Chains A and B, each alone.
Chain A
Amino acid sequence: MDLYPAKRVEIIIESVMEGHLTEALVDAGVTGFTIVPVSGGSGRSGQWSGQGQVSRAGGMVMFVCLLRPDRLQTLLDSVFPVLDRHIGVLSVTDTYVLRAERF
């Protein structure tokens, strides 16, 4: 069983930007990603919790994308304008996947 190198991109962003970011990823040709709700955390403005939020303004979501290394730059170019002015974190990690043709 062979493993193939890939990039894992994690983007934590405000819930209200979920639609924007989804659009940017699709535009970059990234068709496989997972969106996970974030329950709380801590950042530059201190601790926060998603509990008891009455508006979507206070929530965050995390996108997890796996892709071929050569497609990383296209993704970054596409998502940067969405992330630029908003609260969020983007991180890229080297990883391995089992079925390279799917990414």
Chain B
Amino acid sequence: MDGILALAQQNLLSPIILSFVLGLAAALVRSDLNIPEAIAKGLSVYLLFAIGFKGGANVSSHGADLELALALLAGIILSAALPFVAYGLLRLLTRLSVVDAAAVAAHYGSISIVTFVAASTILDSQGIGYEGYMVAVAAAMEAPAILTALWLISRARPESRQQDSHLWREVMLNGSIILLVGAFVIGWITGEEGKRQIDPFITAPFHGLLCLFLLDMGLVAGRGLYKAQRVVSAGALVFGITMPLVSSLFGLLAGLALGLSLGGVTLLMVLAASASYIAVPAAMRVALPEANPAVYLTLSLCITFPFNLILGIPLYITAAELVMAG
């Protein structure tokens, strides 16, 4: 228990989490603090490139053919299966319609890359190693959940229409995925030599820029949280906190089955526990326009994201440590 508290305290007092909390607090007191949109977008491009490149370079130096393939497969299965769990929980805890529940479920099968970046940064700061290919697993977990959500809808409403190419372009070719996977491939191809060439750019400023980015995310989440009481019921709130804990258990089991390192298991738990608020909301607007975006965006961005960032990550690290030590 002391270990968990110490880790939670260490996490809470890290610059990246405190920056997020600052943004959250500033938004809740309705401060006019604002990060210009172009800067926020630039920061996200930098972070995705850096994390993708470092993951690829790591795979290049350590190799991971079969391991990588199995981890990708596990990620895809997790992403496709978790929406069923989320959907069941939502129907149990809330009065959301089938469409709203399916749309929310898709978000919880998919992932939040920002949570992943924050978790890997915290692992780095604690000297806990992890498999570089987890970046590729993160990318692979973006889309399968959407298929499950659409299947849930088509089962409940057979008249629902077929989806077209625009949806798949939105999901598979969105900028974040292209950048993350592209940087991973560049890192893989160029290896340690490539990393050495751009290391001052992708390593030294990383923590500071992540702080600024999370400050902005705190502002965004806080502004959403301010309006959350109008759109999120008590049951949905319970779901937003319970679901990541349940999902992380699936991540833990999958990580152990794959034989991942402590850091790898933790990251798979984080990926399973996190919920998308970039790619999936856009896909849901195309595929399920009847679903209320206020519900799924508030739950994933304003409830689950802060929970994972502040409490979830230290909890997942501790759980993985305890299970792997035992």
Name A's B-contacting residues (CB within 8 A).
14, 16-17, 19-20, 45, 51-58, 85-87
Contacts and interface: CB of A to CB of B under 8 A. Distances in A.
A48 B169 CA distance: 26
Chain B interface, >50% SS class:
helix
B67 to A, nearest CB: 32
Interface string B235-279: 000000000000000000000000000000000000000000111
Contacts of B220: 52-54
B37 interface: yes
Contacts of B169: 19
Interface size bracket, B side: 20 to 34
Contacts of A16: 170, 282, 285-286
Contacts of B293: 57-58
A51 B37 contact: yes
Interface in B267-318: 277-279, 281-282, 284-286, 289-290, 293-294, 297, 301
B225 interface: no
Given A19-B166, A51-B37, A57 B284 contact: yes
Contact of B282 (A20, A51, A57, A85): A57
Interface of B: 34, 37, 164, 166, 169-170, 216-217, 219-220, 223, 277-279, 281-282, 284-286, 289-290, 293-294, 297, 301
Q: Which of A19, A52, A53: most chain B Cβ within 10 A?
A: A52
Given A51-B37, A56-B282, A58-B297, A85 B289 contact: yes
Contact of A87 (B170, B217, B284, B289): B289
A57 B290 CA distance: 13
A17 B286 contact: yes
Given A19-B169, A57-B281, A57-B293, A52 B286 contact: no
A54 to B, nearest CB: 6
A56 B223 CA distance: 17
16 contacts: A16-B282, A16-B286, A17-B285, A20-B286, A51-B37, A52-B34, A52-B223, A54-B220, A55-B278, A55-B279, A55-B282, A55-B297, A56-B170, A56-B282, A57-B284, A58-B297
A87 B277 CA distance: 19
B166 A20 contact: yes
A19 B282 CA distance: 13
Contacts of A86: 285, 289
Nearest to A45: B294
Residue in A16, A53, A54, A56 whose Cβ sees the most chain B Cβ within 10 Å: A54
Given A57-B297, A58-B293, A86-B289, 12 more contacts: A16-B170, A16-B286, A17-B285, A17-B286, A19-B166, A45-B294, A54-B278, A55-B297, A56-B285, A57-B281, A57-B282, A57-B285
A51 B37 CA distance: 7
A15 to B, nearest CB: 8
A63 B285 CA distance: 18
Nearest to A17: B286
Contacts of B219: 52
Given A16-B170, A19-B166, A55 B281 contact: yes
Contacts of A20: 164, 166, 286
Contacts of A14: 285, 289
A87 B278 CA distance: 19
Contacts of A55: 277-279, 281-282, 297
Nearest to B286: A16
A86 B166 CA distance: 15
A32 to B, nearest CB: 22
